């Protein structure tokens, strides 16, 4: 029966998508009435109950689909439901916007900061080092962007320490936004610089060797990056042959091992003493290769040795970077907002009964 002030103006048949059944797509054929206003002469279709107002999808399918858009790829859901990827992207965007509004950041005691190169740009990543929860993924790693995020955290005075790599804008941002937090340079990045110095000498020696020997030296490069106590008998034998023929390589390996031993120090005072001893014992022949490494450690020494006061590392943030790479690799063509939603907002998605994906918060996965 037409509504008062309106007249019937035909109808149309619509196909409304519903939850798939037994692996088959489901569509509901619905006759929707059309009305015309007697005053303004404009026409409109009646609103159907339990149907999404902007999409020809049932409300129950939207409720079922929304959490899955953050946990599965759009390609997989398109194949399962018959919906287009653009429709699924729209559902994901709407759901992510609601989650973003409802999300409450929990300021951690120990904060991890790192970056990942994603979609042709370096992005800042923040994680709770205690739980492994990804706090946020920023569109860039510029100092103003990082400061705005740190200042947006509730109760920033809770943060006792921040683990980071040796990126100067990070240090400046923390000093500006969190003056009471200790800055801890992640030991992995420091040790990696020592590995780079050793690799430089190995590559220089490799350039002087015949092709077959150069390949052998390259094959043993992985063993050279291991600590001496973790080498297998075969690796120990192979390295001893290289060291016998190339004394400079042996000196570089020894210097690298001696610096690794610095992190075995029981306290900060002992670690600083070991660093001074290491510098004094460095062979002059190694100075060209280890010069940059030595300069970097000197410049960042206060924050490098703060590690021995708090013993925190950035391992949780590095793990988050791996999860971000997985999310990006699983769905080719994802935009930055979609990847961010899958990483940052996925742990907040409900209901919990749906299968968890390989991305999201490690502390929430079971």
Instruction: Collect contacts of 83-88 with beta carbons under 8 A, ≥24 apart.
Output: 83/17, 83/57, 87/55, 87/57
pLDDT tens for each residue of 166-203: 999 999 999 999 998 999 999 999 999 999 999 999 99
CB 52 within 8 A of CB 59: yes
Sequence spans of domains, the chain: 6-102, 110-186+313-364, 187-310
Q: Please give the structure tokens belonging to residue 147.
A: 């400061």
**Cα 94 versus chain centre, distance:** 23
Question: Tell me, what's the pLDDT at 198?
Answer: 93
Cis peptide before 351 (omega within 30 of 0): yes
Q: Lowest-confidence range among 75-79, 108-112, 263-267?
A: 75-79
CB 177 within 8 A of CB 155: no
CATH class of 110-186+313-364: alpha beta
Q: Which residue has the higher pLDDT, 249 or 334?
A: 249
Mean of the per-residue pLDDT values for the chain? Answer: 86
pLDDT tens for each residue of 293-332: 999 999 999 999 999 999 999 998 998 888 888 888 877 7
Question: Tell me, what's the pLDDT at 357?
Answer: 38
CA distance 214 to 307: 38
CB 189 within 8 A of CB 165: yes
Global pTM exceeds 0.75: yes
Top-confidence range, 32-41, 232-241, 317-326, 345-354 = 232-241
Burial class (CB in 10 A: 0-12, 13-18, 19+), 333: exposed
**pLDDT band at residue 32 under the 50/70/90 scheme:** confident
**pLDDT band at residue 348 under the 50/70/90 scheme:** low
Burial class (CB in 10 A: 0-12, 13-18, 19+), 216: middle
Q: Lowest-confidence range among 134-148, 203-217, 286-300, 329-343?
A: 329-343
CA distance 73 to 359: 11
């Amino acid at each position: 029966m037409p509504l008062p002030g309106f007249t019937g103006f035909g109808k149309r048949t619509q196909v409304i998508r519903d939850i798939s059944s037994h692996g088959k797509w489901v569509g509901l054929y619905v006759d929707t009435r059309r009305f015309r206003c007697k005053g303004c002469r404009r026409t409109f279709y009646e609103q159907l109950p339990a149907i999404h107002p902007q999409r020809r999808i049932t409300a129950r399918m939207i409720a079922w689909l929304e959490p899955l858009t953050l946990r599965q790829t759009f390609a997989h859901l398109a194949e399962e439901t018959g919906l287009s990827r653009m429709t699924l992207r729209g559902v994901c965007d709407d759901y992510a916007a609601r989650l973003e509004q409802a999300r409450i950041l929990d300021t951690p005691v120990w904060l991890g900061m790192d970056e990942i190169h994603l979609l042709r740009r370096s992005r800042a990543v923040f994680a709770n080092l205690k739980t492994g929860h990804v706090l946020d993924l920023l569109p860039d790693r510029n100092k103003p962007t990082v400061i705005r995020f740190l200042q947006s955290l509730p109760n920033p005075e809770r943060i006792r320490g921040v683990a980071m790599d040796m990126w100067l804008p990070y240090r400046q941002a923390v000093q500006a936004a969190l003056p009471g937090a200790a800055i801890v340079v992640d030991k992995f990045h420091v040790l990696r610089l020592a590995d780079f110095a050793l690799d430089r000498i190995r590559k220089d020696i490799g350039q002087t060797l015949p092709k077959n020997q150069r390949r052998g030296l390259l094959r043993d490069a992985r063993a050279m990056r291991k600590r001496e106590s973790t080498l297998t008998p075969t690796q120990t034998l192979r390295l001893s042959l290289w060291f016998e023929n190339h004394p400079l390589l042996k000196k570089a390996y020894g210097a690298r091992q001696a610096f690794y031993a610095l992190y075995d120090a029981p306290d900060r005072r002992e670690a600083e003493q070991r660093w001074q001893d290491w510098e004094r014992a460095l062979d002059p022949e190694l100075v060209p290769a280890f010069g940059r490494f030595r300069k970097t450690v000197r410049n960042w020494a206060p924050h490098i040795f703060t590690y021995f006061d708090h013993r925190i590392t950035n391992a949780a943030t590095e793990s988050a970077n791996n999860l971000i790479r997985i999310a990006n690799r699983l769905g080719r063509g994802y935009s930055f907002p979609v990847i961010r939603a899958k990483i940052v907002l996925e742990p907040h998605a409900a209901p919990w009964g749906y299968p968890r994906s390989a991305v999201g918060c490690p502390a929430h996965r079971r």
